[in-house]
Amino acid sequence: MITIDPKEIPTPKLHGYLLGAVSPRPICFASTVDSKGSVNLSPYSFFNVFSANPPVMIFSPARRVRDNTTKHTLENVLETKEVVINIVSYEMVQQMSLSSTEYPKGVNEFLKAGFTEVPSDVVKPPRVEEAPVQFECKVNEVIALGNHGGAGNLVICEVMKIHLHEEILDENGRIDPLKIDTVARMGGNWYSRAKAGLFEVEKPLRTLGIGVDALPESIRLSTVLTGNDLGILANVEALPEGVNDEIKPSDETQKKAQEYLKTGNVMEAWKILQQ
């Protein structure tokens, strides 16, 4: 048995133990706006539901360990007191991961990750159309848990309106766990798919992926490639040489590229798409 005093190990190592042990964790995919209306979209796995009457959810955007700065989501909810919590399904997990890239303030992650903005009914932040469930929330309180890198900030959200895609419901109107197909966060690059178990998602590039909005139109608007496929293709520092808006890969070529994406061979997929 190994015994650890949290005060005696570096924060990154402690962070790894916490995330590896307390898992799987549901994912809050938070869309927010600042006081000027600029949109931000980012996932958080320090998240859960804590009350039904009133309906309350809490998520925690922690201060960055490396430099003790705060995240745009936290800054936005402190300014506007509103957030939309979108639930993540397996079909959108690669795009969700791409949205966690730390783009500069003012960059819209909906565009970078290839998601569709839908106006909310009672709050200013937009909803993610692709999310199976979307919760419009007002922020009742934000509780800072510390002022050092790694310290959390509890964002206590009251649900004001719920939106559900009908296709996730069973014949009795209840959410079917197989149809909603949610994913949860584990330690490192690992995730858990509720109906299928563990899988791995490579973290976004620290040097910033180009984003779905920078993909050639024929790729971005493909009827063959999935949202997850686009999320993987967009997680590159620059388009490969020779790739531009002139390329028009056939459906068959795109299917071949998909096979490489399934095995994580992104650059081979790009080579196929250029043919």
**In this predicted structure, what is the pLDDT of residue 254?**
93
Number of domains composing the chain: 2
Task: Give residue-wise pLDDT tens across range 146-176.
Answer: 999 899 999 999 999 999 999 999 999 999 9
> Is there a single domain that holds both residue 247 and residue 167?
no
Query: pLDDT at residue 105 above 80?
Result: yes
**In this predicted structure, what is the pLDDT of residue 177?**
95
Distance CA 69, CA 148 (A): 9
> Is there a single domain that holds both residue 251 and residue 187?
no
* pTM: predicted TM-score of the whole model, two decimal places: 0.90
172 in a structural domain: yes
Query: pLDDT at residue 65 above 90?
Result: no
Among 3-12, 154-163, 187-196, top mean pLDDT goes to: 154-163
> Is there a single domain that holds both residue 179 and residue 269?
no
**In this predicted structure, what is the pLDDT of residue 206?**
74
3-state secondary structure 66-134: CCCCCCHHHHHHHHHCEEEEECCEHHHHHHHHHHCCCCCCCCCHHHHHCCCEECCCCCCCCEECCCCEE
**58 neighbors 194 (Cβ within 8 angstroms):** no
* pLDDT, average across residues 65-81: 93
Report how far apart, in Å, the C-alpha atoms of 41 and of each of 8, 102, 159 are.
35, 11, 18
**In this predicted structure, what is the pLDDT of residue 275?**
77
**145 neighbors 158 (Cβ within 8 angstroms):** no
**In this predicted structure, what is the pLDDT of residue 203?**
84
> Is there a single domain that holds both residue 122 and residue 144?
yes
Confidence band (pLDDT; 50, 70, 90) for 197? confident
Query: pLDDT at residue 189 above 90?
Result: yes
At which of 177, 200, 223 does a domain end? 200
Query: pLDDT at residue 194 above 80?
Result: yes
Confidence band (pLDDT; 50, 70, 90) for 137? very high
Confidence band (pLDDT; 50, 70, 90) for 26? very high
The percentage of the chain sitting over the pLDDT mark of 70, rounded to a whole number, equals 100
**180 neighbors 133 (Cβ within 8 angstroms):** yes
Query: pLDDT at residue 5 above 80?
Result: yes
Task: Give residue-wise pLDDT tens across range 207-234.
Answer: 788 999 999 999 999 999 999 999 999 9
With a CB cutoff of 8 Å and minimum separation 6, the contacts of 8 are: none
> Is there a single domain that holds both residue 266 and residue 179?
no
**In this predicted structure, what is the pLDDT of residue 207?**
75
| More confident position, 89 or 205 | 89
- Torsion-angle region of 125 (φ positive above 0: left; ψ -120 to 50: alpha; else: beta): beta
Distance CA 183, CA 197 (A): 9
Confidence band (pLDDT; 50, 70, 90) for 243? confident
* pLDDT, average across residues 110-136: 98
> Is there a single domain that holds both residue 14 and residue 117?
yes
- Torsion-angle region of 69 (φ positive above 0: left; ψ -120 to 50: alpha; else: beta): beta
Name the residue among 232, 223, 227 with its Cα closest to residue 252.
Answer: 223
**149 neighbors 11 (Cβ within 8 angstroms):** yes
How high is the mean pLDDT of the chain?
Answer: 94
CATH code, domain with 131:
2.30.110.10
- Outline where the chain has alpha helix (H): 11-21, 72-80, 93-99, 109-113, 177-180, 217-220, 227-233, 251-262, 266-273
**In this predicted structure, what is the pLDDT of residue 4?**
94
Range of the domain at 20: 6-200
Distance CA 256, CA 202 (A): 21
> Is there a single domain that holds both residue 216 and residue 263?
yes
> Is there a single domain that holds both residue 258 and residue 146?
no
**In this predicted structure, what is the pLDDT of residue 191?**
96
At which of 142, 166, 200 does a domain end? 200
**In this predicted structure, what is the pLDDT of residue 274?**
85
188 in a structural domain: yes
Query: pLDDT at residue 246 above 90?
Result: no
